[in-house]
Amino acid sequence: MQTAKHQRSQRHKSLAALTAGGVYFLLPAPAHAMHISEGILSSPWAVLWFALSAPFVLWGLRQIKTRSRIQPQYKPFVALVGAAVFIISCLPVPVPVAGTCSHPVGTGLAAILVGPGPTVVLASVALTFQALFLAHGGLTTLGANIFSMGVAGAFIGYAIFRVARGLGANFLVAAFLAGLLADWAAYAATAFILTGALHQTGQFLAMAKVILVAFVPTQVPLAVLEGVISAMAYRFVIQRRPLLLHADMKAGGAV
């Protein structure tokens, strides 16, 4: 008898907990929007950034397909890096002044691991899922977000890594700079895109300055953190699986 009462009590407690949890998740909560949100860009600007981003996405797909034929393990590695980009770029830090959020981008690290072209593809996939399921960014602004986070972030990060290595920097320093400056490049590109679409006549530089300054308090430390993460992740891969690295960046010396 006591056991039956105890079981009923436990069921009631479980039901109450589930009900409370359901009510909690149904309650309205503040949305922390990231990337360039839906409706910010007019149709001509949205189409322009889709047109500018599309060739990089197609080129990246071709690179993934070509290298996967030669190195079958490359495709799973790209998928793993893509998951990392998705998670890293989903970490919002509210910027009250700007009414939006800062966040790491992850494309600098991805570029030095799998190459800048494939990184644009990974950014496009991450941004599409974030727009569809997390309300970050938007579908009409997808081209602009791909260009800022994918194209600008990936190619700047990759170029910085190569230049730093060419100047004699070790892998850790080069990877740190790639992560740091890829992050800043993505936000500079975002500021440029927003300013181009929203500025009034003669106010381009003033508006760009306002947008950039709004992100400084959060984006500077985030970029430093992203640089550290990039250096540590690159060191891990170069020590464990150097053959998976981008074809022209094989480990050839000490870290």
Assign residue 55 the CATH number of its domain.
1.10.1760.20
Number of domain units in the chain: 2
**Whole-number Å distance between alpha carbons of 149 and 183:** 8
**What's the DSSP call for residue 27?**
S
In a domain, 253, yes or no: no
Cβ neighbors of 232 (< 8 A, separation 6 or more) are none
Check whether residue 217 and residue 131 sit in a common domain: yes
Check whether residue 8 and residue 129 sit in a common domain: no
In a domain, 136, yes or no: yes
Res 19: pLDDT: 43
In a domain, 220, yes or no: yes
Taking alpha carbons only, the member of 35, 25, 47 closest to residue 132 is: 35
Check whether residue 78 and residue 7 sit in a common domain: no
Mark residue 202 as left, alpha or beta (left: phi above 0; alpha: psi -120 to 50; beta: remaining).
Answer: left
Q: Report the b/e string of 78-97 with b at 16+ CB within 10 A.
A: beebbebbbebbbebbebee
Res 96: pLDDT: 53
At 70, list the tokens: 């030669």
Check whether residue 71 and residue 52 sit in a common domain: yes
Check whether residue 48 and residue 22 sit in a common domain: no
Check whether residue 238 and residue 171 sit in a common domain: yes
- The residue assigned the tokens 């290595």 is 165
Check whether residue 100 and residue 178 sit in a common domain: yes
CA 214 vs. chain centroid, Å, equals: 19
Check whether residue 135 and residue 236 sit in a common domain: yes
Check whether residue 4 and residue 91 sit in a common domain: no
In a domain, 249, yes or no: no
Res 151: pLDDT: 96
SS3 217: helix
Res 233: pLDDT: 93
Low-confidence ranges of the chain (pLDDT < 50): 1-2, 6-7, 11-33, 97-99, 247-248, 250-255
In a domain, 47, yes or no: yes
In a domain, 94, yes or no: yes
Res 36: pLDDT: 76
Cβ neighbours, 10 Å, residue 55: 11
Res 10: pLDDT: 52
Check whether residue 26 and residue 82 sit in a common domain: no
In a domain, 123, yes or no: yes
- The overall average pLDDT reported for the chain is 79
pTM recorded for the entire structure = 0.78
Domain that holds residue 7: 1-30
Check whether residue 226 and residue 195 sit in a common domain: yes
Check whether residue 152 and residue 38 sit in a common domain: yes
Res 217: pLDDT: 67
In a domain, 255, yes or no: no
